[in-house]
C-alpha cells in the first residue's frame, strides 16, 4: 500500500511516471493486436484482441493525463503516434516480439503478475487521477493475470513440445522482467509523494505469484540475475521498438492530424 505523506511530487517526475504507464500499455497493447486474425484458435484470437483493446483503453487514460501534465497542447494521439522511439518510456520486456503463442503469453504473464499488485497499490494514490485510472485498469489486469496464468500452466505442464516452448520463452524473457523493479529518481519521488508504492513490496508480491504459477507449470526459473534495463527511463530501447513504431505510426506520420 502507498503510505501517504505531505510531500508534493515534482511535476517532471509525475509526467515521467504517467508516461511510463501509458507507454507500457500502448506497446504491449500493440504487440497483442498483432495477433488479430492469426491466433492459434478462434477463441484465443478473440481473447488476444480483447486484451489488446483493454490495454489501448488504458493507454488512452494514461496518455490523456500525460498530455495535460505536459501542457504543450498535445493530445494522447500525439503522444502515441508522433514521438520517436527515444522518447518512449516502456519496459524493454514489452517491446519484445511475439515469436510464438507461448512466448506471447509468457511475456503477458510476467507483466500481469506485476500489474495486478502495482495497480492495486495505485488505487490509494495521493493523486486522484492516478487512483481513478488504476481502479479502472485493475479490474482488467486481474482478468488478464487469471487468463495468462492458466495458459502458462496448461502449456508448461502440457506436452513435451509445449513445455519446451514455454521454458524457452521464460529463459528468453527472464532477464527483461527485472527492469520492472529497478528504482530510479522518478520511482523514489513518486513513492515519497505517496503517488506510487515502494517497488520492493511489489517485487515481493510478484515473486510469490510467479514462483507459485511456474511451479504448477513445471517450469524452472532461470538462475541468472542479469537485468536488461534502460527502457523505462528512455536511455535505451532495442531495435524491436523502432520496427514496431514504424508500423504503428505510419498513418499519422504520412498524413498528420488525420481524423476518421
Which residue ranges of the chain lie beneath pLDDT 50? 2-8
Is the distance from CB of 45 to CB of 38 less than 8 angstroms?
Answer: yes
pLDDT of residue 260: 65
CATH 1.10.1740.10 corresponds to the domain 11-254:
no
Which cell goes with 225? 540475475
Q: Cα–Cα distance between 72 and 83 in angstroms, integer?
A: 13
pTM of the shown model: 0.95
DSSP 248: H
Q: What angle do CA 232, 24, 95 make, to 5 degrees?
A: 80
pLDDT of residue 208: 98
pLDDT of residue 7: 42
142: Cβ–Cβ under 8 A, 6 or more apart, which residues?
116
pLDDT of residue 6: 44
Is the distance from CB of 253 to CB of 39 less than 8 angstroms?
Answer: no
Among the listed residues 62, 216, 172, the one whose alpha carbon sits nearest the alpha carbon of residue 54: 62
pLDDT of residue 258: 78
DSSP 220: P
Q: Cα–Cα distance between 223 and 171 in angstroms, integer?
A: 10
Q: Buried (b) or exposed (e) across 65-79, using 16+ Cβ within 10 A?
A: bbbebbeeeeebbbb
Is the distance from CB of 48 to CB of 64 less than 8 angstroms?
Answer: no
Is the distance from CB of 20 to CB of 88 less than 8 angstroms?
Answer: no
Q: Cα–Cα distance between 167 and 197 in angstroms, integer?
A: 31
pLDDT of residue 4: 43
Is the distance from CB of 32 to CB of 96 less than 8 angstroms?
Answer: no
pLDDT of residue 257: 80
Helix (H, G, I), strand (E, B) or coil at 226: coil
Amino acid at each position: 500500500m502507498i503510505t501517504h505523506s505531505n510531500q508534493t511530487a515534482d511535476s517532471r517526475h509525475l509526467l515521467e511516471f504517467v508516461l511510463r504507464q501509458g507507454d507500457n500499455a500502448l506497446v504491449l497493447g500493440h504487440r497483442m493486436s498483432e495477433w488479430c486474425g492469426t491466433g492459434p484458435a478462434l477463441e484465443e484470437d478473440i481473447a488476444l484482441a480483447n486484451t489488446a483493446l483493454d490495454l489501448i483503453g488504458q493507454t488512452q487514460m494514461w496518455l490523456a493525463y500525460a498530455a495535460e501534465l505536459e501542457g504543450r497542447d498535445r493530445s494522447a494521439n500525439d503522444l502515441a503516434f508522433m514521438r520517436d522511439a527515444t522518447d518512449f518510456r516502456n519496459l524493454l520486456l514489452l517491446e519484445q516480439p511475439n515469436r510464438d503463442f507461448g512466448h506471447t503469453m509468457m511475456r503477458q504473464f510476467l507483466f500481469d503478475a506485476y500489474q495486478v499488485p502495482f495497480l492495486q497499490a495505485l488505487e490509494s494514490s495521493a493523486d486522484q487521477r492516478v487512483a481513478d485510472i488504476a481502479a479502472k485498469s485493475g479490474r482488467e489486469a486481474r482478468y488478464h493475470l487469471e487468463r495468462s496464468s492458466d495458459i502458462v500452466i496448461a502449456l508448461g505442464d502440457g506436452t513435451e513440445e509445449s513445455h519446451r516452448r514455454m521454458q524457452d520463452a521464460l529463459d528468453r524473457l527472464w532477464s527483461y522482467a527485472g527492469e520492472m523493479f529497478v528504482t530510479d529518481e522518478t520511482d523514489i519521488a513518486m513513492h515519497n509523494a505517496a503517488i506510487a508504492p515502494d517497488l520492493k513490496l511489489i517485487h515481493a508480491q510478484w515473486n510469490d505469484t510467479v514462483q507459485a504459477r511456474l511451479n504448477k507449470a513445471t517450469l524452472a526459473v532461470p538462475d541468472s540475475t542479469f537485468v536488461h534495463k534502460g527502457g523505462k527511463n528512455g536511455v535505451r530501447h532495442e531495435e524491436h521498438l523502432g520496427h514496431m513504431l514504424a508500423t504503428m505510426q505510419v498513418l499519422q506520420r504520412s498524413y498528420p492530424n488525420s481524423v476518421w
